[in-house]
Structure 1
Amino acid sequence: MTRNSSRFTEAACKLDALTRAGVDTPPACEGDDAFIADKGTLLPPELSRMRLVCSRCPLFDLCGDYARTAKPEAGYWAGIAYGKPERAAAKTA
């Protein structure tokens, strides 16, 4: 098994654990489309709000564990935005 396929298998197991836990305990971000947006479209105040939502989520650890393994191409996982560079943040600097 290659390193990439091993990481993919591990990520799939972690996503499964997160999904199963979410059946009984919905994530704090449920229904909030900002959490699936490309980070380049999010402004600093929105990112701050999302960090607060994540910090109070009962699935924070499972979500972060999955994201650190899978390295998703987009979305906001356990307080960290994944995806393209933050173009919106650069405009405010």
Structure 2
Amino acid sequence: MLHMKTGAEQHYFALLDQLENVTPDCLDDDRYVADRGQITADDKTEMAAICEACPLVKACTTYASSAQPPAGWWPGHNLIKRRKEAA
């Protein structure tokens, strides 16, 4: 039986493929995995700018939108906060 990947899995593997050729500036930046209370307004602005300049921003955004990760800043935004605001 053929296993079909979910949309989130497809987007994850597409992001992984692109990561083979690009090292994003967010890599090893602990702010992207920090708790919300540890991120300052200046951090948020800088993180968003890093993401906007990244060649992976489209793939990262697509993956994060479909996977809805429970934590972290994807891409440069707190997705949990965005989900609560959209509700």
Using the size of structure 2 for normalisation, the TM-score is 0.78
| Equivalent AA in structure 2 for residue 34 of structure 1 | R
Moved over 2 A (4+): 38-41, 82-85
- Find the counterpart in structure 2 of residue 66 from structure 1: 63
- Find the counterpart in structure 1 of residue 38 from structure 2: 41
1:82 and 2:74 are equivalent in the alignment: no
Deviation of the 1:38 alpha carbon: 2.6
Unaligned runs of 5+ in 1: 1-5, 86-93
RMSD: 2.2
2:15 to 15, 18, 30: 18
Residues 33-42 or 50-59, more deviating: 33-42
- Find the counterpart in structure 2 of residue 31 from structure 1: 28
- Find the counterpart in structure 2 of residue 57 from structure 1: 54
Unaligned runs of 5+ in 2: 83-87
| Distance of 2:16 and 2:73 partners within structure 1 | 16
| Equivalent AA in structure 2 for residue 33 of structure 1 | D
| Equivalent AA in structure 2 for residue 27 of structure 1 | P
Q: Deviations over 1:39-65 (max 9, x none)?
A: 232111111110111111010000000
- Find the counterpart in structure 2 of residue 89 from structure 1: none
